[in-house]
Structure 1
Amino acid sequence: MAAKPLPDSPSWMSWRTLLFLIPAAFLVGFGESCPSKCVCPAHNTAVFCNSRNLTTVPGRIPPDSEFLDLSRNSLHTLREGMFSRLWVLKELDLSHNMISNIEEQTFNCLRNLMTLRLKGNRLDMVPEGVFTGLPNLSILDISENRILVFLDHSFRDLSNLRKLETGDNHLVFISSQAFSGLWSLQQLTLEKCNITSVPTEALSHLRQLVELRLKVLNVTTIPNYAFQTLHHLKDLEIHRWPFLTSLQSESLSGLNITSLSITKCNLHDVPYKAIKHLAHLRFLDLSYNPISVIQGKRLVDLSRLQEFHLTGGQLATIQAHAFQGLVHFRLLNVSSNDLQTLEEKVFHSVGNLEVLRLDRNPLACDCRLLWIVRRRRRLNFESRQPICSTNSTRKGKTFHKISEVPPGHFRCRKPKIVDKALQKVNVEEGGQANLTCKSEGDPPPVVSWVSPQNVTLDMGRRGRMVVLPDGSLKIHYALLGDSGSYHCIASNAAGIDMMEAYLHVSIPLFNSSAFANNASLLSDPGNQLPFLVDLGTLVGILVIGVVPFLCSVMICFVFIFLWSKGRGNAKHHVIESVPRFPRGYKAITNKNRTPTKKPR
């Protein structure tokens, strides 16, 4: 029978020592015991005290903690010394509490802190010096508070801050020196604030800023040179400014950005002048703006542009050569618009095009879209295939389902002018003239006219000569110089057709109806016409004006005659009444003597 080991034997001592060291090892593994209402995962330096209904920072937090989560509690005030033992803390989350007051030097001991989150509290201001003692802080989130103003030097001690989130506050004013001291700031977000102008002076201190996001603001305009000192800015986002209708021509001057987003605003036109000098721009997003047309040859200065997004708008036309000169252009997203077609000549080269989004547009699948059918295997539609919505034979068919172009499909019918008989229209000067030009084709032709002076008159042109939607040319007020041959040109993707019309403008005789017609034209504010009258009206004006003039002249002559007669009679009586010298007086009229009286 084997002998039992003595209590003081080596084997017994090893087991007793092991049982004693197990709890000690567990505690030493994290430095100290974990607070009762928190969770401290083993082999981790994080402490989770979130959603515990805490009203103060719990004690006994291990001093070697690097992450402390106190979010979603009921903290009201942060006092000095609350975090005095947490020397190595790198991230502190105080989001979604009820913090309304932060005492000075509260964070003074957290010299290694890199991230501080105060989102969703009740702060109404950022007291000067509240962030003193955070030399290594790189991320600060104070969004969703009640902050009304940023005073001068609010962030002066955060020289290493890289990212600042200030969105969804009640901001009404940002002082010109509010951001002074943020020498290293690279990302700034201003969102859901009550500021009504771009804080240009405050932003001028952020010389290292790379990303600027301005969201949900009631700003009506971006002034010239608003961001001119932000030479390192690469990404500018303007989102949801409902009162922004246009950009001033120099509003983006001084920027070298590569990405520009102006979305959910009220732009009716692409801001060509404002973006013209952005030679480094690669990404442009103008989605959800009521833009109806992209004009041709207006983006040529954006030579590095690679992506253009304009989704969810009112885009109905992309003119030829709209992306001319954009040799690096590879992505176009114009989904959810009113486009009926997209011609190949819109692009500088379709060889570089990789991604094309045309879905949710009322596309007419004719010869203008044939180039897309031929390149459908090389184009990426991002799983949103364009659909023919106006062609009865292939309505609802996506391009990727078309194995080959069927006969009669994706073809166009050349324009044809219905009546090519030579028109001869005679009209008196000052009258209205109409030259008709009816055409048909598939797609519907675009009609323009060429005047005798070789001036092209397009549809939509305003002035004295207007091309109507039915192709007719209406001349509101004919002049003698308008006489001559006019040429109507109907064109579509399949070709053109032409016809000639002749207009003769004659000098009219005076008649009341013509005068009334001219008066009505001139009184209409919509007609921009020169103030001209016909010969009959001119004769009438002269007759009415000359008679009173001649009568006035005759009356003047009568008055002058009577006055001169009266003046002559008065002079005669004066001479007769001159007294005579008595006898014995002699008038001496010598040059050197005066008249003298000679004695008798």
Structure 2
Amino acid sequence: MHLPFPMLSPALWLDLLIVLPSVTSIHSLCPSLCLCGSRSLFVNCSGTNLSSILILPPLATEFLDLSSCSLHTLPPLHNLWRLQTILLAQNVILQVGDGYWKSLRSLQILDLNGNKIGNLSVSFSLGLDSLTHLFLAHNLLHCISKYSFQHLHNLELLDLQGNLISSLDSGAFRSLTKLRHLQLQNNLLQSLTNDDFSVLQRLEFLDLSGNRINHLPSGVFTPLHSLTFLNLQNNKLRHLRFQTLSSLPSPGTLLLLSSNPWECDCDLQRMFGKLRSLQRISLQDGEDLNCAAPSALKGRALTSLDTQLCVAETVTVLMITLTVAVTVVGAIVTAERSRKKGPRNQGNEMCGQE
């Protein structure tokens, strides 16, 4: 009787059981309807309208494109320990399970744009310690928890545009100390706090356009030492403190402020006058800043207003204030003199009567 395999020691069989799966995985066939290249390191299944992945990609896969596949749930990827990039955009994924990424320690780029994700679990970022780019744009996120991004210590780009985010938990970005690019445009944010960006000292690009922000605290941008681009267009800002923007520490910051309902009173005009004089801030759309109020100035360009009128108004107010102050002081002095004269005159009249 002949055995189909040569006689091997138990230790050698154990070695083969460990090595053979990794060898065969490199030469395994592509998943059905997918394209593979470069010894299956690159797997492209995009646009195949798969509802699920029937054949898993080879274990050696480093780049996996599953975009526009009509996926409702995420495929099992826990064995793809070499995976560096995964594209899952334009699917119908509703949620990401707890700890789903924990075995993908090499993952650097994760694209979940254009899905139906409504919230991120506390353990969403578990295992994503190497991630540098995270795309979550055009989902259904309504808030960002302080735990959602807690493991993203190497993240450099975060795209959250086009969601329904109305609030940021205190400390939501506290782990993102290496973040350089943050997109929050076209959400439902109404206000910000001084703590929201407090650890983002390396942030260079911040887009907050298309929200509902109506107030900015004076110190909200102070920690952003590296900021070179700030977009506040198309919000609900009516007033803006000079200190809010003058606190930007980075020289050469590009600033966008148009499409806000500016109330063009003298305070705002003086603020923009000071802002234009700051050499370290470059107002890119100054010619497009239009007034929404008062009614007499509605639609007027802020730059077309005669700032001398505000200077004259200030001088007039000062003159009136000074006149009132002089009048009050004069009245007090006169009253004091009359009070001191009163007893002396009465004494003279009494002496005359005697």
Structure 1 and Structure 2 fold alike (TM over 0.5): yes
Structure 2 counterpart of 1:263? 258
Task: Give the counterpart of 2:106 among 112, 115, 118.
Answer: 112
Structure 1 counterpart of 2:133? 139
Residue 301 of structure 2 is aligned to residue 314 of structure 1: yes
Structure 1 counterpart of 2:242? 249
Residue 40 of structure 1 deviates from its aligned partner by 1.6
Residue 56 of structure 1 deviates from its aligned partner by 2.2
Residue 214 of structure 2 is aligned to residue 227 of structure 1: no
* Larger RCO, structure (CA 8 Å, separation 6 or more): 2
Residue 462 of structure 1 deviates from its aligned partner by 6.9
Q: Deviations along 1:514-552, whole A, 9 cap, x unmatched?
A: xxxxxxxxxxxxxxxx99xxxxxxxxxxxxxxxxxxxxx
1:216 is aligned with what amino acid? G
Secondary structure in structure 2 of the residue aligned to 1:155? coil
What percent of counterpart residues are identical? 27
* Mapping for residues 67-216 of structure 1, pairs under 5 Å: 67-78=63-74, 82-216=76-210
Query: What is the rounded CA distance, in whole Å, between the counterparts of 2:303 and 2:133 in structure 1?
Result: 44
Residue 315 of structure 1 deviates from its aligned partner by 6.7
* Mapping for residues 530-541 of structure 1, pairs under 5 Å: none
Residue 103 of structure 1 deviates from its aligned partner by 1.2
Residue 461 of structure 1 deviates from its aligned partner by 6.2
1:263 is aligned with what amino acid? S
Structure 2 counterpart of 1:582? none
Secondary structure in structure 2 of the residue aligned to 1:40? strand
Query: What is the rounded CA distance, in whole Å, between the counterparts of 2:120 and 2:287 in structure 1?
Result: 36
Does the 8 Å CA contact 2:27/2:39 hold for their aligned counterparts? Answer: no
Q: Deviations along 1:193-214, whole A, 9 cap, x unmatched?
A: 1121024322112222121110
Structure 1 counterpart of 2:30? 34
Query: What is the rounded CA distance, in whole Å, between the counterparts of 1:73 and 1:213 in structure 2?
Result: 30
Query: What is the rounded CA distance, in whole Å, between the counterparts of 1:58 and 1:157 in structure 2?
Result: 31
Structure 1 counterpart of 2:232? 238
Residue 76 of structure 1 deviates from its aligned partner by 2.1
Residue 124 of structure 1 deviates from its aligned partner by 1.2
Structure 1 counterpart of 2:17? none
Structure 2 counterpart of 1:515? none
Residues 132 and 213 of structure 1, relative CA distance in 2, 3 Å threshold: same
Does the 8 Å CA contact 1:227/1:253 hold for their aligned counterparts? Answer: no
Residue 248 of structure 1 deviates from its aligned partner by 1.1
Cα RMSD, aligned residues only: 3.4
Secondary structure in structure 1 of the residue aligned to 2:134? strand
Task: Give the counterpart of 2:47 among 45, 51, 65.
Answer: 51
Residues 74 and 111 of structure 1, relative CA distance in 2, 3 Å threshold: same
Residue 291 of structure 1 deviates from its aligned partner by 6.1
Residues 51 and 246 of structure 1, relative CA distance in 2, 3 Å threshold: same
Secondary structure in structure 1 of the residue aligned to 2:184? strand
Residues 266 and 65 of structure 1, relative CA distance in 2, 3 Å threshold: same
Does the 8 Å CA contact 1:182/1:205 hold for their aligned counterparts? Answer: yes
1:255 is aligned with what amino acid? L
Secondary structure in structure 2 of the residue aligned to 1:164? strand
Secondary structure in structure 2 of the residue aligned to 1:212? strand
Does the 8 Å CA contact 2:286/2:303 hold for their aligned counterparts? Answer: no
Residues 203 and 462 of structure 1, relative CA distance in 2, 3 Å threshold: closer
* Mapping for residues 553-568 of structure 1, pairs under 5 Å: none
Secondary structure in structure 2 of the residue aligned to 1:263? coil
Q: Deviations along 1:414-461, whole A, 9 cap, x unmatched?
A: xxxxxxxxxxxxxxxxxxxxxxxxxxxxxxxxxxxxxxxxxxx98996
Residue 286 of structure 1 deviates from its aligned partner by 2.8
Q: Deviations along 1:333-360, whole A, 9 cap, x unmatched?
A: xxxxxxxxxxxxxxxxxxxxxxxxxxxx
Residues 190 and 287 of structure 1, relative CA distance in 2, 3 Å threshold: farther
Relative to its length, the structure with more strand (as a share) is 1
Secondary structure in structure 2 of the residue aligned to 1:135? coil
Query: What is the rounded CA distance, in whole Å, between the counterparts of 1:227 and 1:221 in structure 2?
Result: 13
Secondary structure in structure 1 of the residue aligned to 2:195? helix
Residue 167 of structure 1 deviates from its aligned partner by 1.0
Residues 264 and 171 of structure 1, relative CA distance in 2, 3 Å threshold: same
Does the 8 Å CA contact 1:255/1:278 hold for their aligned counterparts? Answer: no
Structure with higher Rg: it is 1
Does the 8 Å CA contact 1:149/1:173 hold for their aligned counterparts? Answer: yes
Residue 44 of structure 1 deviates from its aligned partner by 7.0
Query: What is the rounded CA distance, in whole Å, between the counterparts of 1:49 and 1:260 in structure 2?
Result: 41
Residues 237 and 316 of structure 1, relative CA distance in 2, 3 Å threshold: closer
In the alignment, structure 1 segments of 5+ residues that lack a partner are: 1-26, 293-311, 323-456, 466-529, 532-600
Residue 279 of structure 1 deviates from its aligned partner by 4.2
2:121 is aligned with what amino acid? P
Q: Normalising by the residue count of structure 1, what TM-score does the alignment of the two structures yield?
A: 0.43
Does the 8 Å CA contact 2:95/2:119 hold for their aligned counterparts? Answer: no
Residues 135 and 460 of structure 1, relative CA distance in 2, 3 Å threshold: closer
Query: What is the rounded CA distance, in whole Å, between the counterparts of 1:231 and 1:170 in structure 2?
Result: 28
Residue 93 of structure 1 deviates from its aligned partner by 0.7
Residues 228 and 462 of structure 1, relative CA distance in 2, 3 Å threshold: closer
Does the 8 Å CA contact 2:163/2:186 hold for their aligned counterparts? Answer: yes
Secondary structure in structure 2 of the residue aligned to 1:77? coil
Query: What is the rounded CA distance, in whole Å, between the counterparts of 1:459 and 1:263 in structure 2?
Result: 22
Residue 28 of structure 1 deviates from its aligned partner by 8.6
2:261 is aligned with what amino acid? N
Does the 8 Å CA contact 1:250/1:274 hold for their aligned counterparts? Answer: no
Does the 8 Å CA contact 1:153/1:181 hold for their aligned counterparts? Answer: no
Query: What is the rounded CA distance, in whole Å, between the counterparts of 1:159 and 1:48 in structure 2?
Result: 29
1:132 is aligned with what amino acid? L
Residue 318 of structure 1 deviates from its aligned partner by 9.1
1:223 is aligned with what amino acid? P
Residues 278 and 156 of structure 1, relative CA distance in 2, 3 Å threshold: farther
Q: Normalising by the residue count of structure 2, what TM-score does the alignment of the two structures yield?
A: 0.70
Query: What is the rounded CA distance, in whole Å, between the counterparts of 2:259 and 2:83 in structure 1?
Result: 41
Query: What is the rounded CA distance, in whole Å, between the counterparts of 2:142 and 2:302 in structure 1?
Result: 39
